[in-house]
Amino acid sequence: MPNWAGASAYCESRGLELAPWDTDASRVALGKLCRDNRYTCWTGGRDRGAALCPLMTQEGHIVQQGCEQSVRFVCRTKTSSCAASRSPSRSPSHDASPSPGPRRCNPYDTSYAKRSYYCEADCHTYTLYDINARCMLDYGQARAYCEWAGGELVPYGEAPAMGALRHLCRDNRYTCWTGGRDERSGLCPLMTQEGYIVQQGCEQSVRWVCRTKKGNCASPSAKPSPKRSPSPSPSPSPSPSPSPRHRPTPSPSPSPSRSPSVSHSPSPSLSPSRSPNPSPSPSPNPSPSPNLSPRRSPRPSPSPSPSPSPSPSPSPSPSPSPSPSRSPSPSPSPSPSPRLSPSRSPSPSPSPSSPSHAPACDPYKVPYYSVPYYSHHDCRTYTLYDIGAVCMLSWRSAAAFCEWKGGELVPGANSAAGLGALHALCRDRRYTCWTGGRDERSGLCPLMTAGGDIVQQGCEQPVRWVCRTMGPDCTSAASPSPSPSPSPSPSPSPSPSPSPSPSPSPSPSPSPTVTPPSSAGYFELIEGVTAPNVALSLANIPFTRKYFFMERAYGPGEELSLAPTTGVLDLDTGFKANFNAVKNPGCSGFLITPDGVLHLFGGDVGSGVRGLGDGRQYIHAFNAATAAMQQVTLMQKNRWYPTPLVLADGKVLIVGGSDACLVGPTWDFAELWDPAQPTAPTASITMPPAFVANMGLNWYPFMALMPKGEVVWFVEKGGAVTDQNFNVLVNLPPFPAGITYCTMFPMTSTISLIAAQPPEYGIGFIIFGGTACNVNINTVAATTSLRISITYCSTHPSGICVSNWEVEDMLGVPRVMGDSTLLPNGKILLHGGAQKGQANAGPAATVANFQSLMYDPYKPAGQRYSKMDFAPIARVYHAANCLDVTGKVLVAGCENCDPAYSQLAPGMSPSPDTPLEYRLEWGVPAEIAPAVTRPIIGAGLPAALPRGTTIAVPYTYPGGGAITGVALAAACAATHSLNMNQRVVFLEFSMQPDGGVLLVSGPPAGLFGKSLLGPHMLFLVGEGGTYSEGKWVTVTDA
């Protein structure tokens, strides 16, 4: 992405122009392309001679910013093809800060939703205004409002004030104006969503925090506010209908007034009892801290290397054991400690043009949580400081700290090794970090953004930083740590250990474990793309690389997102959009019917703040062309957490679910819906007695179809197989006596089918993890899996043979509410979840699971599990995974990723949107890693794959490898640890004598009935389990 000049030049090179912000039509287009997709974009209309450049923020505001940051941009044709009228452009005499138009609200008549916080440290009451964003203000208006309310805009330079701002703004992911403005700068201070104080243009409309001018330490009602307090109720301003004489008197403002009645520029006359400070300092001491001055020795540090890692709470769960270089060693050796001298005075370092203010903490006494990284490229040790954001520093202070440590601030522009270390330590953790290599003439300082770009910014904001040793140490015996998420303190491999709560002790004993010698895969962040919603549910949109996302409709008291709960994302273009589903489909069951349409069954109660009606009884269809939800018909009952299954005759069986969230009643019958008659009433279906006996509230049971149309029913600990008319053929065996844990929500296991293979096409499934039936937040999850096979035979009267449950040890890794993905080579990727607790909103689980596993069902017992690399991003409740047509696994979501109770492992990357997680990753199995040669499906693949016929599949396989399999994978529809649309079927094939073409047999006639029709991804499997990228095909009847 370019800077402003680069964006403007690019548009010109295409015969276009950078879209100006100051015409109505262009402003509307910018809103649709940028604001509606939550993008920041450069705009045209820059004031010649101005040092700043205009951009549209994610919220749709036009602000003036420094011109060097890299963002998206919008070009437009220079001439129109219609007689559109152009709005008058602004006068050249206007200030560089644009006026986006008249404000349509009056802050003095607005009933604001607000939250108050009493700080015991200074006895002030702090109040955050406009939680619901009804009438946000620019800086001058926010300051005037606080004065009118008898208070002041909170200055950021005081430690108690910063604590209050972080509590009210950062912890709720709000951007807020702060006090402490330097009147000479022309900019205004605000706290970003991440908790940084930055200087910005003063005209954007954001929230703000006022505080009382005097402390009240004797207040009997003063109580600290909880972090996630109940819903903020709209409360009136100090005077709902103030008389004109009580309102601040407007006076000339640095920028044009938006409305004479609203745009108030504060002046000394606004508060006779308080004289404004013409040059407030952001700290009590306006001079640089003696501890940070390079000309004075800092106070001695208690330790030459003040970077102890915080000790997590004792846990029988495994410690992280990342294999960063995918080497045979499960735990890398520690990186060498840099030779640092605590008694050394920092030498003079480049000084930014603006003064360096003392932080409210002493960096030379802070026990920083740091992460070292040893690079074999230049034999230096790099250290990231202040992961916990305890005492972040300005650029000059960070440079001085590195000098004091005997090192230097890492240059990011002229060192490949330095840039690689910054990527590993900062970008891959989504941290912003100061870098070295400053141009003294610029007045700006370089930093690496969370996206990995080096930009020039103002030098005073507090961020993290990376130091490196001054000289190389290539004789060190330390192991390299080029991991995107190195662990500060390597730990032994996971091993099971006793728990204070009931823990599984399976009998018979699990098969003996043989740990494979190398990594089974890794995870990589998808750069530049985030999810439109937290992935409670995730589904492919067939024949595209688009995905459907759905999140829970959070209540107002949770203080989380209030955006529409449903959205789409195109991974090819990065386009994403949210839409309103009308009826609440959250917590529904869903799948893709043979016509390629995503259908949702059931849902949740209505949500007023989201504009959603009660969706519990509805069947919905998602129209991918219009990104809209259609209400198809009503079921007989409300169903919250049901499971649908497409049957052999094409009808959909809807099983389970209760009347409402977390409560009964549940229903003693299933429902049958016919897509061929979509509005006809559903039929009632009797459920197997063995299934009913185990169902409890019957939340998200596991349902599967056998090749000849029989139905497999499983819930909690038991179930049955019925014929196509729902008559019981055989019951599933009970769990082994030692398996006492539960498997269904909220003790959620993840369950995966085993791939079906010719000629029998028998099925089986595996239950991964779960937890004790009387679980609490400290209960350690199950460390075993349960496998069962269901085949056709002649030794049982029903013709169905069911194996006993096979208990297997998951390498000692506990897991509850993980996600499993069936791969084209038949392996199963097991990822995410937690090691303690249960599935539910809020603090229900702890110890995010960093150890992902690969399960190979074709290996001998005891050798089927292998470890993947350390997983850097927590995926707890709600999260979902889907197989992508590239063969990678799309990993998304997490609603509960609050480090306060998720207990991220050392080296894990906290969400920048805590507790919500919008970042996306690829899970990359080792078999398709970049260095692996993969088969390639060639051009000319038929669009249809008819049953019982043969098609020619052109392919290449560089290096002359042999094709070992052809796999059909169903489109994904995953929610709550279940992919309800999962299926992989291997096909028979032969190779033409001259090579280059495979003759692939379509599925046998009748196999899985109509449920196998429709969109599937076709993959070629090569040597060693590698596989090609997929191609979409449609399975049809011959």
- Give pLDDT tens digits for 321-333: 333 333 333 333 3
pLDDT at residue 103, as a whole number: 44
Comparing 398-412, 509-523, 601-615, 768-782, which segment has the lowest mean pLDDT?
Answer: 509-523
H or E, element range at 589? strand 589-592
Same fold, 4-77 and 289-308+322-492: yes
**What's the whole-number average pLDDT of the chain?**
80
pLDDT at residue 440, as a whole number: 80
Name the residue with tokens 């728990």: 499
pLDDT at residue 492, as a whole number: 32
- 122 Ramachandran zone, left/alpha/beta (phi>0; psi -120 to 50): alpha
pLDDT at residue 317, as a whole number: 38
Judge whether 629 and 622 are in contact, CB under 8 Å: yes
Judge whether 823 and 752 are in contact, CB under 8 Å: no
pLDDT at residue 944, as a whole number: 97
CA 1013/CA 596 separation, integer angstroms: 9
- Other C-beta atoms closer than 10 Å to the C-beta of 723 total 16
pTM: 0.57
Query: CATH: 3.40.630.30, 3.40.50.10680, 2.40.420.20, 2.130.10.80. Which one for 521-928?
Result: 2.130.10.80
pLDDT at residue 507, as a whole number: 38
Under 8 Å CB-to-CB from 324, ≥6 apart: which residues? 332, 480, 481, 482, 483, 484, 485, 486, 869, 870
Q: pLDDT, tens digit, for every residue of 230-269?
A: 333 333 333 333 333 333 333 333 333 333 333 333 333 3
- Other C-beta atoms closer than 10 Å to the C-beta of 495 total 12
Q: Which residues pair with 372 in a beta bridge?
A: 383
Most confidently predicted of 356-360, 408-412, 940-944: 940-944
Q: pLDDT, tens digit, for every residue of 596-635?
A: 999 999 999 999 888 999 999 999 999 999 999 999 999 9
Tokens of 106: 């009056």
Comparing 130-139, 501-510, 915-924, which segment has the lowest mean pLDDT?
Answer: 501-510
List the beta strands (DSSP E) in 696-849: 702-705, 711-715, 718-722, 728-731, 750-753, 763-768, 784-792, 800-802, 806-809, 819-822, 828-831, 834-837, 845-848
Q: Evaluate if residue 71 carries a pLDDT over 90.
A: no
Residue by residue, DSSP assigns 544-564 as TTEEEEE-----GGGT---S-
Q: Which of these, 253, 418, 283, lies nearest to 361 by C-alpha position? A: 283
Name the residue with tokens 């819930």: 715
Percent of the chain with pLDDT over 70: 79
Give me the phi and psi of 72, to 5 degrees please: -70, 170
Q: Evaluate if residue 348 carries a pLDDT over 60.
A: no
pLDDT at residue 501, as a whole number: 33
Most confidently predicted of 92-101, 278-287, 691-700: 691-700
CA 225/CA 118 separation, integer angstroms: 7
The one-letter code for the residue type at 460 is: E
Q: Evaluate if residue 221 carries a pLDDT over 50.
A: no
Domain 114-239: homologous superfamily in CATH: Mannose-Binding Protein A, subunit A (3.10.100.10)
pLDDT category at 84 given cuts 50, 70, 90 is: very low
Rounded mean pLDDT, 157-185:
85
CA 139/CA 162 separation, integer angstroms: 18
Is 289-308+322-492 a domain of CATH 1.20.1090.10? no
Q: Evaluate if residue 662 carries a pLDDT over 50.
A: yes
Rounded mean pLDDT, 574-578:
94
Residue ranges of the domains in the chain?
4-77, 114-239, 289-308+322-492, 521-928, 936-1036
pLDDT at residue 513, as a whole number: 40
Q: pLDDT, tens digit, for every residue of 781-809?
A: 999 999 999 999 999 999 999 999 999 99
pLDDT category at 387 given cuts 50, 70, 90 is: confident
Higher pLDDT, 303 or 175: 175
Question: Could you tell me how many residues make up the chain?
Answer: 1038
Write a three-state SS string for 453-520: CEEEECCCCCEEEEEEECCCCCCCCCCCCCCCCCCCCCCCCCCCCCCCCCCCCCCCCCCCCCCCCCCC
Domain 4-77: homologous superfamily in CATH: Mannose-Binding Protein A, subunit A (3.10.100.10)
Higher pLDDT, 369 or 316: 369
Rounded mean pLDDT, 12-30:
86
pLDDT category at 497 given cuts 50, 70, 90 is: very low
Fold held by 936-1036: Immunoglobulin-like (2.60.40)
Give me the phi and psi of 160, to 5 degrees please: -60, -35
